[in-house]
């Protein structure tokens, strides 16, 4: 379980979660990045940059 850095809501992480993974807060809908697993830490996902894409 981790805390959403935006709304302080609780976010549960799956057992296969990896560092760097993008998830969405179920409470506020913010896009979050998993920055730590043990302990679980979440950060606001970075904003899209000009050269992001496929």
Partner 1 sequence: MRIGLLHSLIRKEEKLLIEEFNKHSHVDLVMLDDRKLIFDFHSKPKVDLVLERCINHSRAMHGLRLFENQGIPCVNTSDVARICGDKILTAVALADHDVPQPDLRIAFTEESALIAIEELGYPVVLKPAVGSWGRLLSKVNDRDAAESILEHKAILGSYHHSIFFIQKYVEKKGRDIRSFVVGDECVAAIYRASEHWITNTARGGTATGCAVSDELHDISLRAAGAVGGGIVAVDLFETTDGLVVNEVNYTMEFRNSITTTGVNIPQRMVDYLLKIQV
Please tell me the distance from the alpha carbon of residue 20 to that of residue 37, in angstroms, as a whole number. Answer: 10
Binding flag, residue 51, partner 1 (CB under 8 A):
yes
Other C-beta atoms within 10 Å of 26: how many?
12
Interactions with partner 1, residue window 11-30 (CB under 8 A): 16, 18-22
Binding flag, residue 47, partner 1 (CB under 8 A):
no
In the complex, least distance from residue 21 CB atom to partner 1, rounded to whole angstroms: 4
In the complex, least distance from residue 1 CB atom to partner 1, rounded to whole angstroms: 19
């Amino acid at each position: 379980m981790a805390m959403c850095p935006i709304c302080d809501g609780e976010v549960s992480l799956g057992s296969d979660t990896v560092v760097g993974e993008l998830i969405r807060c179920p409470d506020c809908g913010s896009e979050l990045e998993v920055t730590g697993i043990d302990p679980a830490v979440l950060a606001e996902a970075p904003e899209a940059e000009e050269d992001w894409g496929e």
